[in-house]
Amino acid sequence: MFDDIAFWVSYLTNGKHLTWYASFQFTIIAALLGGALAVIFGLTGATLKNSRFWPLRMIGTVYSAIVRGVPDVLFFLFFPLAFEQGVEWFVASQVCTPEMIAAQSAPWPPCKEANWFLGTPEYLILASVSLGLVYGAFATNVIHGAMRSVPAGQLEAARAYGMSESQVLWRVHIRQMWVYALPGLSNVWMLIIKATSLLSLLQIADIVLWADRLGAPNFLPTVGLVHDDWRWRYYLVLFVFYILVTWLSERAFDAITRRVGRGILSEAHG
Protein backbone atom coordinates (compact mmCIF):
# COMPACT_ATOMS: atom_id res chain seq x y z
CA MET A 1 0.00 0.00 0.00
CA PHE A 2 2.61 2.46 1.18
CA ASP A 3 5.01 1.26 -1.49
CA ASP A 4 2.33 1.82 -4.10
CA ILE A 5 1.85 5.43 -3.06
CA ALA A 6 5.61 5.96 -3.00
CA PHE A 7 5.87 4.46 -6.48
CA TRP A 8 3.14 6.66 -7.91
CA VAL A 9 4.52 9.80 -6.30
CA SER A 10 7.98 9.17 -7.66
CA TYR A 11 6.61 8.05 -11.03
CA LEU A 12 4.42 11.13 -11.46
CA THR A 13 7.19 13.51 -10.42
CA ASN A 14 10.02 12.13 -12.54
CA GLY A 15 11.78 14.47 -14.93
CA LYS A 16 9.71 13.58 -17.97
CA HIS A 17 6.47 14.11 -16.12
CA LEU A 18 7.64 17.48 -14.83
CA THR A 19 8.44 18.47 -18.41
CA TRP A 20 4.96 17.36 -19.38
CA TYR A 21 3.40 19.52 -16.66
CA ALA A 22 5.55 22.44 -17.78
CA SER A 23 4.42 21.99 -21.38
CA PHE A 24 0.88 22.98 -20.38
CA GLN A 25 2.20 26.54 -20.51
CA PHE A 26 2.44 26.35 -24.31
CA THR A 27 -1.21 25.36 -24.58
CA ILE A 28 -2.29 28.10 -22.20
CA ILE A 29 -0.15 30.80 -23.84
CA ALA A 30 -1.34 29.82 -27.32
CA ALA A 31 -4.98 29.88 -26.20
CA LEU A 32 -4.78 33.25 -24.42
CA LEU A 33 -2.64 34.98 -27.05
CA GLY A 34 -4.67 33.42 -29.87
CA GLY A 35 -7.90 34.50 -28.20
CA ALA A 36 -6.71 38.08 -27.70
CA LEU A 37 -5.51 38.28 -31.32
CA ALA A 38 -8.79 36.77 -32.54
CA VAL A 39 -10.71 39.58 -30.84
CA ILE A 40 -8.37 42.18 -32.36
CA PHE A 41 -8.61 40.65 -35.83
CA GLY A 42 -12.35 40.29 -35.32
CA LEU A 43 -12.73 43.98 -34.49
CA THR A 44 -10.55 44.89 -37.48
CA GLY A 45 -12.49 42.57 -39.76
CA ALA A 46 -15.84 43.90 -38.59
CA THR A 47 -14.63 47.48 -39.13
CA LEU A 48 -13.48 46.57 -42.64
CA LYS A 49 -16.79 44.86 -43.32
CA ASN A 50 -18.64 48.00 -42.23
CA SER A 51 -16.37 50.30 -44.22
CA ARG A 52 -17.90 52.67 -46.74
CA PHE A 53 -14.88 52.22 -49.02
CA TRP A 54 -15.66 49.32 -51.39
CA PRO A 55 -12.25 47.56 -51.57
CA LEU A 56 -11.90 47.53 -47.78
CA ARG A 57 -15.42 46.14 -47.45
CA MET A 58 -14.53 43.37 -49.91
CA ILE A 59 -11.40 42.49 -47.93
CA GLY A 60 -13.45 42.17 -44.76
CA THR A 61 -16.14 40.09 -46.45
CA VAL A 62 -13.69 37.75 -48.16
CA TYR A 63 -11.67 37.38 -44.95
CA SER A 64 -14.70 36.35 -42.95
CA ALA A 65 -16.04 34.07 -45.66
CA ILE A 66 -12.95 32.23 -46.86
CA VAL A 67 -12.07 30.67 -43.52
CA ARG A 68 -15.44 28.95 -43.47
CA GLY A 69 -14.72 27.09 -46.68
CA VAL A 70 -11.26 25.92 -45.65
CA PRO A 71 -10.33 23.84 -42.58
CA ASP A 72 -8.65 25.59 -39.66
CA VAL A 73 -5.82 23.01 -39.67
CA LEU A 74 -4.83 24.10 -43.14
CA PHE A 75 -4.43 27.74 -42.12
CA PHE A 76 -2.81 26.67 -38.90
CA LEU A 77 -0.08 24.83 -40.82
CA PHE A 78 0.10 27.13 -43.81
CA PHE A 79 0.49 30.49 -42.12
CA PRO A 80 3.65 29.77 -40.05
CA LEU A 81 5.31 27.96 -42.95
CA ALA A 82 4.39 30.71 -45.40
CA PHE A 83 5.61 33.40 -43.01
CA GLU A 84 8.90 31.60 -42.46
CA GLN A 85 9.42 31.15 -46.20
CA GLY A 86 8.45 34.75 -46.86
CA VAL A 87 11.08 36.00 -44.43
CA GLU A 88 13.67 33.61 -45.84
CA TRP A 89 12.85 34.74 -49.36
CA PHE A 90 13.33 38.36 -48.33
CA VAL A 91 16.62 37.62 -46.55
CA ALA A 92 17.78 35.58 -49.52
CA SER A 93 17.14 38.49 -51.88
CA GLN A 94 19.45 40.59 -49.67
CA VAL A 95 22.31 38.27 -48.74
CA CYS A 96 22.51 35.49 -51.33
CA THR A 97 25.19 35.76 -54.01
CA PRO A 98 25.07 33.59 -57.17
CA GLU A 99 27.91 31.45 -55.79
CA MET A 100 25.97 30.77 -52.59
CA ILE A 101 22.87 29.83 -54.58
CA ALA A 102 24.94 27.51 -56.78
CA ALA A 103 26.36 25.84 -53.67
CA GLN A 104 22.90 25.12 -52.25
CA SER A 105 21.64 21.61 -52.97
CA ALA A 106 18.36 21.56 -50.98
CA PRO A 107 15.25 22.98 -52.69
CA TRP A 108 14.77 25.60 -49.94
CA PRO A 109 16.06 28.13 -48.78
CA PRO A 110 17.80 29.61 -51.85
CA CYS A 111 21.11 29.70 -49.99
CA LYS A 112 22.19 28.34 -46.62
CA GLU A 113 22.86 31.81 -45.23
CA ALA A 114 19.19 32.74 -45.64
CA ASN A 115 18.02 29.86 -43.46
CA TRP A 116 15.93 31.02 -40.52
CA PHE A 117 15.85 28.55 -37.68
CA LEU A 118 12.61 28.62 -35.72
CA GLY A 119 12.61 27.38 -32.13
CA THR A 120 9.67 26.74 -29.83
CA PRO A 121 9.06 30.41 -28.84
CA GLU A 122 8.97 31.53 -32.49
CA TYR A 123 6.64 28.71 -33.49
CA LEU A 124 4.47 29.42 -30.46
CA ILE A 125 4.04 33.05 -31.51
CA LEU A 126 3.39 32.09 -35.12
CA ALA A 127 0.88 29.47 -34.00
CA SER A 128 -0.91 32.03 -31.84
CA VAL A 129 -1.03 34.50 -34.72
CA SER A 130 -2.48 31.88 -37.03
CA LEU A 131 -5.02 30.89 -34.39
CA GLY A 132 -5.88 34.58 -34.16
CA LEU A 133 -6.20 34.89 -37.93
CA VAL A 134 -8.41 31.82 -38.35
CA TYR A 135 -10.70 32.45 -35.41
CA GLY A 136 -10.56 36.19 -36.00
CA ALA A 137 -12.62 35.44 -39.09
CA PHE A 138 -15.24 33.77 -36.90
CA ALA A 139 -15.04 36.67 -34.47
CA THR A 140 -15.49 39.06 -37.41
CA ASN A 141 -18.88 37.53 -38.12
CA VAL A 142 -19.85 37.57 -34.46
CA ILE A 143 -18.77 41.18 -33.89
CA HIS A 144 -20.25 42.35 -37.19
CA GLY A 145 -23.59 40.86 -36.18
CA ALA A 146 -23.34 42.29 -32.67
CA MET A 147 -22.56 45.80 -33.97
CA ARG A 148 -25.78 45.70 -35.93
CA SER A 149 -27.74 44.47 -32.92
CA VAL A 150 -27.04 47.59 -30.86
CA PRO A 151 -30.33 49.54 -30.83
CA ALA A 152 -30.20 52.49 -33.23
CA GLY A 153 -31.82 54.68 -30.58
CA GLN A 154 -28.77 54.36 -28.35
CA LEU A 155 -26.52 55.71 -31.12
CA GLU A 156 -28.99 58.47 -31.97
CA ALA A 157 -29.13 59.49 -28.33
CA ALA A 158 -25.33 59.62 -28.19
CA ARG A 159 -25.23 61.79 -31.31
CA ALA A 160 -27.95 64.01 -29.89
CA TYR A 161 -25.68 64.63 -26.89
CA GLY A 162 -23.18 66.06 -29.33
CA MET A 163 -20.68 63.20 -29.30
CA SER A 164 -18.34 62.98 -32.25
CA GLU A 165 -18.42 59.92 -34.52
CA SER A 166 -15.42 58.31 -32.80
CA GLN A 167 -16.90 59.02 -29.38
CA VAL A 168 -20.16 57.38 -30.46
CA LEU A 169 -18.19 54.41 -31.78
CA TRP A 170 -15.97 53.85 -28.75
CA ARG A 171 -18.14 55.02 -25.88
CA VAL A 172 -21.52 53.69 -26.96
CA HIS A 173 -21.39 51.39 -29.96
CA ILE A 174 -18.48 49.10 -29.02
CA ARG A 175 -19.28 49.35 -25.31
CA GLN A 176 -22.77 47.98 -25.88
CA MET A 177 -21.73 45.60 -28.64
CA TRP A 178 -20.03 43.21 -26.17
CA VAL A 179 -23.34 42.14 -24.64
CA TYR A 180 -24.56 40.87 -28.00
CA ALA A 181 -21.17 39.48 -29.03
CA LEU A 182 -20.40 37.50 -25.87
CA PRO A 183 -22.40 34.32 -26.64
CA GLY A 184 -20.73 34.11 -30.07
CA LEU A 185 -17.30 34.99 -28.71
CA SER A 186 -17.64 32.28 -26.08
CA ASN A 187 -18.20 29.83 -28.95
CA VAL A 188 -15.08 31.11 -30.69
CA TRP A 189 -13.09 30.75 -27.48
CA MET A 190 -14.20 27.11 -27.18
CA LEU A 191 -13.01 26.52 -30.74
CA ILE A 192 -9.64 28.13 -29.94
CA ILE A 193 -9.19 25.94 -26.85
CA LYS A 194 -9.84 22.85 -28.92
CA ALA A 195 -7.50 24.05 -31.67
CA THR A 196 -4.62 24.36 -29.19
CA SER A 197 -4.38 20.57 -29.27
CA LEU A 198 -2.84 20.95 -32.74
CA LEU A 199 0.33 22.72 -31.51
CA SER A 200 2.38 19.54 -31.88
CA LEU A 201 1.91 19.79 -35.65
CA LEU A 202 4.20 22.85 -35.52
CA GLN A 203 7.14 21.12 -33.82
CA ILE A 204 6.12 22.39 -30.39
CA ALA A 205 6.67 19.81 -27.63
CA ASP A 206 3.19 20.38 -26.20
CA ILE A 207 1.00 18.29 -23.91
CA VAL A 208 -0.11 15.98 -26.73
CA LEU A 209 3.43 15.15 -27.81
CA TRP A 210 4.52 14.53 -24.22
CA ALA A 211 1.48 12.34 -23.55
CA ASP A 212 2.53 10.23 -26.51
CA ARG A 213 6.13 9.99 -25.32
CA LEU A 214 5.24 9.24 -21.70
CA GLY A 215 2.65 6.64 -22.57
CA ALA A 216 4.84 4.67 -24.95
CA PRO A 217 6.05 1.34 -23.50
CA ASN A 218 8.70 2.22 -20.95
CA PHE A 219 11.65 -0.10 -20.50
CA LEU A 220 14.56 0.63 -18.18
CA PRO A 221 17.59 -1.73 -18.11
CA THR A 222 17.82 -1.47 -14.32
CA VAL A 223 14.14 -1.97 -13.52
CA GLY A 224 12.80 -3.88 -16.48
CA LEU A 225 9.45 -3.02 -18.03
CA VAL A 226 8.07 -0.08 -16.04
CA HIS A 227 4.80 -0.09 -17.92
CA ASP A 228 3.53 -1.32 -21.27
CA ASP A 229 1.51 0.83 -23.65
CA TRP A 230 -0.18 3.42 -21.43
CA ARG A 231 -0.83 6.00 -24.10
CA TRP A 232 -4.60 5.75 -23.83
CA ARG A 233 -4.39 6.64 -20.13
CA TYR A 234 -2.44 9.80 -20.90
CA TYR A 235 -4.84 10.75 -23.68
CA LEU A 236 -7.72 10.11 -21.31
CA VAL A 237 -6.13 12.61 -18.91
CA LEU A 238 -5.92 15.18 -21.73
CA PHE A 239 -9.52 14.39 -22.71
CA VAL A 240 -10.64 15.16 -19.16
CA PHE A 241 -8.36 18.21 -19.01
CA TYR A 242 -9.98 19.76 -22.09
CA ILE A 243 -13.48 19.01 -20.77
CA LEU A 244 -12.57 20.73 -17.49
CA VAL A 245 -11.19 23.76 -19.33
CA THR A 246 -14.39 23.94 -21.38
CA TRP A 247 -16.47 23.74 -18.22
CA LEU A 248 -14.44 26.45 -16.49
CA SER A 249 -14.66 28.70 -19.56
CA GLU A 250 -18.42 28.24 -19.67
CA ARG A 251 -18.73 29.30 -16.06
CA ALA A 252 -16.43 32.27 -16.63
CA PHE A 253 -18.36 33.42 -19.69
CA ASP A 254 -21.65 33.08 -17.80
CA ALA A 255 -20.29 35.33 -15.08
CA ILE A 256 -18.92 37.87 -17.60
CA THR A 257 -22.20 37.89 -19.53
CA ARG A 258 -24.12 38.60 -16.37
CA ARG A 259 -21.74 41.39 -15.38
CA VAL A 260 -21.61 43.03 -18.80
CA GLY A 261 -25.37 42.83 -19.17
CA ARG A 262 -26.04 44.89 -16.04
CA GLY A 263 -28.35 47.77 -16.71
CA ILE A 264 -29.01 46.84 -20.33
CA LEU A 265 -32.58 45.97 -21.14
CA SER A 266 -32.48 43.12 -23.60
CA GLU A 267 -32.96 39.41 -23.92
CA ALA A 268 -29.20 39.04 -24.52
CA HIS A 269 -28.62 38.23 -20.87
CA GLY A 270 -30.57 35.85 -18.71
Radius of gyration of the chain from Cα atoms? 24
Q: Which is nearer to another protein, 7 or 247 (CB)?
A: 247
Q: Which residues bind another protein (CB under 8 A)?
A: 64-66, 68-74, 77-78, 81-82, 85, 106-108, 138, 141-142, 145, 184, 187-188, 190-191, 193-198, 201, 208, 211-212, 215, 228-232, 235-236, 238-239, 242-243, 246-247
**Cβ proximity to another protein, 43 vs 49, nearer residue:** 49
Report DSSP letters for 1-70, one per residue.
-HHHHHHHHHHHTSHHHHHHHHTHHHHHHHHHHHHHHHHHHHHHHHHHHH-SSHHHHHHHHHHHHHHHHS
3-state class of 79 per DSSP?
A: helix
> What's the min distance (Å) between Cβ of 9 and another protein?
24
Of residues 154 and 241, the one with the C-beta less far from another protein: 241
Residue 113 in contact with residue 96, Cβ under 8 Å? yes
d(CA 130, CA 138): 13
Residue 239 beta carbon to another protein: minimum distance, rounded to whole angstroms: 5
CA 204 to chain CA centroid, Å, is 14
Task: In angstroms, give the least distance from the CB of 254 to another protein.
Answer: 15
| Closer Cβ to another protein, 206 or 261, answer by number | 206
Least Å distance between CB 51 and another protein?
18
Contact 74, 151 (CB under 8 A): no
| CA–CA distance, 250 with 270 (Å, rounded to integer) | 14
Using the minimum distance from each CB to another protein, give the nearer residue, 101 or 191: 191
- Calpha distance 270→262 (Å, rounded): 10
- In the bound complex, what is the minimum distance in angstroms from residue 82's beta carbon to another protein? 5
Smallest gap from Cβ 162 to another protein, in A, equals 36
Of the pair 76, 174, the CB lying nearest another protein is at: 76
